Amino acid sequence: MLTYLKLGRPDGEKGATAILVALVLVLLMGIAAVAIDLGFGFNERRQSQTAADMAVMAGATEIVLGGTQEDVVREVLIYTEANVNAEYTIEEWRDMWMSCRDPERLGFDVGTGTPVDFQPLPAPSEWGGGQIECISSVASYLRVRIPDQIIGTNFARVMGFDEIRTSASAVARIEAGDALGSVIPLGVEALAGAGHICLSTGSHVYEPCKGNSSGSFGAINGQFYGDYFGNRPVCATNMQDTSTLPQNIALGIDHAVAVWPAEAAAARGVHYGDNYPGENVVQQWTPGIGFDRCKVEGGAVVPFYANHTSPPNALFLLSGNDARTGVFQGLLQSGTNPPDVEWHGRLVRPDDPAPRRRLEGNGSLKWDVNNSGLWDYLRADADLITNIPQCDPDAFDALGPMGTGVDDPVLKQKVGLMTTCLQEYEETYSGNPNAPRIFIDEVGDSPRLVWAPQFWFTDVSSSKFMPVSAFRLVFISGMWIDCAGNGKCSIVHFPDEATTSTLTMNANLNKWQNGFEQLSAFLVPVEAVPEEARPPIPGEPTAHTASLFR
């Protein structure tokens, strides 16, 4: 008898394969949803991040260029619209931004360890007022959050997901560029041209300074916003408080500063070189004006006047002889500011490669001061010397070492020759991008070469906020110390490699500091300095740049 083996399923298992196939199809569709719809979502997220990065950098650059808050907002909107995938009507675009919320702007740590609150910026005027929470700023930072971008799904609808929402945010920081300390808190009055100029004066005044200036023409009181160097914010209630001046002289102003744009000045009827109209008038020039005075709100450093722009573009000039002590300390002393900022005087930096000249006081009191003058960096260019013989370095060498008095003939000859060289150069080559450089690259290593703010007005007034018209390249030069009304000074120091003798004044530190009478500089045409040797300035009109923070 033959026996057959029957292969197959029991009748109760029929249809199981169809169920299994259906389940697998659902799983495959879910995987497709992840692979396709989430792929679209991730792509949109990347595009939103690109838009946020581009928009925040455009807005920060507008801040650097001195734009108003509304200008900054417009730049952010333009660059966002150009980089998101979706297209919107004017009404949709406005409504999307006005309804956008950014809770992460509150309690945001910009790296100081103290969370701060970013403040919303005003909406464009044609939108009818209000603020945009997703475009916000604090101190020298700008934040942009892209409103939610909505992507409709395809396969994911099977799993109950009809849409995917994406967003992104970015923060930009205004900073001092590749090397900190390029903007010094010493001002230049309007209309000052190339040559020997006054930066700061005390009780007795000598050329190139003019008149009795009550003690501190040119010294600027820049408060600490805490943006650079790790400083804690110092927003003084008394604008005559000079505690921040030494470090700002040594390292440069610790926060971004800008110019008051020519367009804004023209709208107020202001012309370069006008007489100062008074602080009460200037304070009302909003929007657009920004006094360099701060306060702390919600852990954030914000403008003292709520309707003033940031970064500030009007700087406070100190009055009284106390300022000269701060200038002296910033040039020759060293110090520490909390929490851990150590600084060396600008002219006694240990890493400065220039030759030194010693200043000596009582006991162990001494300073080895940078001793390379501007003429020590002149380039031996035969063609240039033919056109402007006053720029010939051999002409300076032939004069020999200088003496120590105010009326020393060699000092006067070298200063006069350098002034004529710069003036002739400016008259011949100003604005010419192909102008020959009269200085060698090493001039860029000098801590004396800095940017100084130049004001809109000629009658510079102390204890006032002065709007800035531009930043000018200057080379810090002469120091006058312990002068008397008869025209005699114990110390007159101009940097000059041919002059190496020690300068001595038998006095303690207080007399050196309190006797600091005057500081001068050479105003240098920017074309005269090799581009790579100039202190960092990303382009007119400020000496700061913007970078992506996070």
Q: Give the pLDDT band (50/70/90) at residue 369.
A: very high
Q: Helix/strand/coil (H, E, C) string of 44-91?
A: HHHHHHHHHHHHHHHHHHHHHCCCCHHHHHHHHHHHHHHHCCCCCCHH
What is the rounded distance in angstroms from the CA atom of residue 438 to the CA atom of residue 387? 12
Does residue 212 share a domain with residue 153?
A: no
Q: Cα torsion for 52, 57, 63, 68, to the nearest 10°?
A: -40
Does residue 525 share a domain with residue 402?
A: yes
Q: Give the pLDDT band (50/70/90) at residue 66.
A: low
Max mean pLDDT range (175-184, 404-413, 490-499): 490-499
The count of domains in the chain is 2
What is the rounded distance in angstroms from the CA atom of residue 179 to the CA atom of residue 229? 11
Residue 94 has pLDDT above 90, yes or no: yes
* Domain presence at residue 182: no
Q: Cα torsion for 368, 369, 370, 372, to the nearest 10°?
A: -100
Does residue 502 share a domain with residue 373?
A: yes
Q: Classify the C-alpha dihedral 65-70-74-77 as positive or negative.
A: positive
Whether the ω angle into residue 287 lies within 30 degrees of 0, i.e. cis, is: yes
Which three-class secondary structure state does DSSP give residue 228? coil
Q: What is the mean pLDDT of the chain?
A: 83
- Choose one of 108, 140, 175: the last residue of a domain: 175
Please state, in angstroms and as integers, the Cα–Cα distance from residue 300 to each residue in 235, 530, 545, following that order: 11, 39, 21
For 245, the enclosing helix (H) or strand (E) is helix 245-251
Does residue 153 share a domain with residue 275?
A: no
Q: For residue 319, what pLDDT is reported?
A: 73
* Domain presence at residue 181: no
Does residue 481 share a domain with residue 424?
A: yes
Higher pLDDT: 519 or 4? It is 519
* Domain presence at residue 342: yes
Q: Give the pLDDT band (50/70/90) at residue 303.
A: confident
Does residue 219 share a domain with residue 270?
A: yes
Residue 17 has pLDDT above 80, yes or no: no
* Domain presence at residue 85: yes
Q: For residue 517, what pLDDT is reported?
A: 86
Placement of tokens 């703010």 in the chain: 453
Does residue 169 share a domain with residue 204?
A: no
Domain residues for the domain of 445 are 195-532+544-548
Does residue 245 share a domain with residue 134?
A: no
Poorest-pLDDT segment among 68-82, 337-351, 431-445: 337-351
- Choose one of 175, 206, 223: the last residue of a domain: 175
Q: Give the pLDDT band (50/70/90) at residue 463.
A: confident
Max mean pLDDT range (29-43, 284-298, 409-423): 409-423
Q: Give the pLDDT band (50/70/90) at residue 330.
A: very high
What is the rounded distance in angstroms from the CA atom of residue 289 to the CA atom of residue 314? 7
For residue 521 the two structure tokens come to 């500089």
Q: For residue 538, what pLDDT is reported?
A: 31
Q: For residue 324, what pLDDT is reported?
A: 84
Q: Helix/strand/coil (H, E, C) string of 189-224?
A: CCCCCCEEEEEEECCCCCCCCCCCCCCCCCEECCCE
Radius of gyration of the chain (CA): 31
Poorest-pLDDT segment among 36-40, 206-210, 345-349, 420-424: 36-40
Closest CA relative to residue 391, chosen from 436, 446, 450, 451: 436
Q: Give the pLDDT band (50/70/90) at residue 34.
A: low
What is the rounded distance in angstroms from the CA atom of residue 212 to the CA atom of residue 215? 7
What is the rounded distance in angstroms from the CA atom of residue 325 to the CA atom of residue 481? 11
Poorest-pLDDT segment among 21-30, 207-216, 472-481, 530-539: 207-216
* Domain presence at residue 185: no
For 29, the enclosing helix (H) or strand (E) is helix 16-32
Q: For residue 102, what pLDDT is reported?
A: 94
Does residue 458 share a domain with residue 329?
A: yes
Residue 9 has pLDDT above 60, yes or no: no
* Domain presence at residue 187: no
Closest CA relative to residue 224, chosen from 120, 339, 349, 108: 339
Q: For residue 178, what pLDDT is reported?
A: 41
Poorest-pLDDT segment among 9-13, 51-55, 101-105, 323-327: 9-13
- Choose one of 141, 175, 209: the last residue of a domain: 175
* Domain presence at residue 376: yes
What is the rounded distance in angstroms from the CA atom of residue 386 to the CA atom of residue 397? 17
Q: What mean pLDDT do residues 488-498 have? A: 92
Does residue 202 share a domain with residue 147?
A: no
β-pair type (131-138, 503-504): unpaired
What is the rounded distance in angstroms from the CA atom of residue 37 to the CA atom of residue 157? 10
- Report the Cα 127 to chain-centroid distance in Å: 31
Max mean pLDDT range (145-149, 227-231, 438-442): 438-442
Residue 348 has pLDDT above 60, yes or no: yes
* Domain presence at residue 8: no
Please state, in angstroms and as integers, the Cα–Cα distance from residue 271 to each residue in 194, 229, 267, 277, 450, following that order: 20, 36, 10, 12, 26
Residue 349 has pLDDT above 90, yes or no: yes
Does residue 290 share a domain with residue 160?
A: no
- Report the Cα 169 to chain-centroid distance in Å: 23
Does residue 46 share a domain with residue 113?
A: yes
Poorest-pLDDT segment among 175-184, 348-357, 374-383, 480-489: 175-184
β-pair type (503-504, 356-360): parallel
